[in-house]
């Protein structure tokens, strides 16, 4: 007889779509806890630019995998998979488990397993060796080594470009071939995947408004404070949306208005790439955030089913 798999409820979707608000309501109602599947919320001291749940929201519903590493520490999909799996094991049978976020790779590895890759120490040394190379050159290198991966990865997505390069060069096999063979079929959980969507114009308005609120809430000051603590501007979390733009502003390379506009533009592009990723995933049931009652009913059915 097949052993029953732990149940997890996944709330996913592009940035600014409304995942946090809905997940808080649902987790509160179902007596659950939230595991963040956001690759930036793991970093301490980076609060405003990563849209972390507020202390009041975290008091309302327990959250996991927020503020677990410093900005200069490594945090990978493999580490997420291991840590989230341990948390699910602790909560299973006692609490409803909600996994909430927009980092597609984290969600894919949690629901489908990991592909084999180079060890962490080898990867770190490799990434350090590539720090001085620009994205266009790296993407060109990837096109030669793994055309399939280069076709899927945006030329500006340095993190995924380097991940694909390190796999190809350190293991001798393209990541696209590893993914094809693996198929992400290591199913450990019975997962209900709830995807949230909005019309593009509505989503883009929310993105632009949120960026303004971040600046008003102190994003520039937060960026300056982190740099003042000695963290280098080329660290992975400081190259992400918002932080990289306002680092340039603080260095006098960009006006405040231009930094804000570039942040808004790049966040809209990021949301579009997220939706492209999620459309390629299987088993997602899509709802508009206003359809909370329908989502609630679907979760009730899922949890009731033996």
pLDDT tens for 176-193 read 775 665 445 567 999 999
More confident residue, 186 or 83: 83
- 132-172 per-position pLDDT tens digit: 777 788 888 888 888 888 888 888 777 778 778 877 766 66
Final residue of a domain: which of 131, 166, 182?
182
In a domain, 54, yes or no: yes
Q: Are residues 255 and 127 in the same domain?
A: no
Asked whether residue 170 falls in the same domain as residue 138, the answer is yes
- 198 in the same domain as 172: no
Q: Give the domain extent around 23.
A: 7-113+184-304
- Supply the CATH number for residue 264's domain: 3.40.50.300
Q: Looking at the structure, do residues 109 and 227 belong to the same domain, yes or no?
A: yes
Asked if the structure places residue 2 within a domain, the reply is no
Residue that finishes a domain, picked among 166, 182, 198: 182
- Summarised one tens digit per residue, pLDDT across range 262-274 is 999 999 999 999 9
pLDDT, tens digit, for every residue of 52-80?
999 999 999 999 999 999 999 989 888 99
Q: Same structural domain for residues 190 and 176? A: no
Structural domain contains residue 12: yes
Same domain, 144 and 279: no
Q: Are residues 82 and 206 in the same domain?
A: yes
Residues 38 and 102 grouped into a single domain: yes
Residue 139 shares a structural domain with residue 243:
no
- Is residue 113 predicted with pLDDT exceeding 80? no
| 109 and 232 fall within a common domain | yes
- Domain co-membership, 156 together with 103: no
Provide the angle, in degrees to the nearest 10, between the axes of the packed helices 292-304 and 19-29.
50
Domain-ending residue, one of 182, 203, 224: 182
Q: How many domains does the chain have?
A: 2
In a domain, 23, yes or no: yes
Q: Model confidence at 2, in pLDDT bands (50, 70, 90)?
A: low
Q: If pLDDT is split at 50, 70 and 90, which confidence band does 1 have?
A: very low
- Are 48 and 157 part of one and the same domain? no
CATH of the domain at 163: 1.10.20.140
Q: Could you give the CA distance from residue 286 to residue 196 in angstroms, rounded to a whole number?
A: 6
């Amino acid at each position: 007889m097949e052993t029953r798999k732990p149940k997890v409820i996944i709330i996913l979707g592009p940035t600014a779509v409304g995942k946090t608000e809905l997940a808080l309501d649902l987790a509160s109602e179902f007596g659950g806890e939230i595991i963040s599947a956001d690759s930036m919320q793991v970093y301490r001291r980076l609060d405003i630019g990563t849209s972390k749940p507020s202390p009041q929201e975290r008091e309302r519903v327990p959250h996991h995998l927020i503020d677990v590493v410093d900005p200069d520490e490594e945090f990978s999909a493999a580490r997420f998979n291991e840590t989230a799996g341990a948390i699910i094991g602790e909560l299973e049978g006692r609490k409803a488990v909600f996994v909430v976020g927009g980092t597609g790779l984290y969600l894919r590895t949690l629901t489908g397993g990991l592909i084999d890759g180079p060890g962490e120490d080898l990867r770190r040394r490799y990434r350090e060796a590539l720090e001085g190379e620009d994205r266009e050159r790296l993407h060109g290198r990837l096109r030669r080594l793994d055309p399939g991966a280069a076709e899927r990865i945006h030329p500006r997505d340095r993190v995924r470009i380097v991940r694909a390069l390190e796999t190809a060069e350190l293991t001798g096999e393209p990541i696209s071939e590893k993914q094809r063979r693996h198929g992400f079929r290591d199913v450990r959980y019975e997962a209900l995947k709830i995807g949230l969507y909005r019309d593009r114009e509505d989503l883009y308005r929310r993105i632009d408004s949120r960026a303004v609120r971040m600046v008003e809430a102190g994003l520039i000051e937060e960026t300056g404070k982190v740099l003042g603590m000695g963290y280098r501007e080329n660290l992975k979390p400081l190259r992400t949306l918002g932080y990289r733009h306002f680092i340039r502003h603080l260095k006098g390379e960009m006006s405040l208005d231009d930094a804000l506009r570039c942040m808004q533009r790049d966040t809209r592009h990021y949301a579009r790439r997220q939706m492209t990723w999620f459309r390629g995933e299987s088993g997602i049931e899509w709802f508009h955030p206003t359809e909370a009652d329908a989502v609630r009913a679907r979760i009730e059915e899922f949890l009731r089913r033996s």
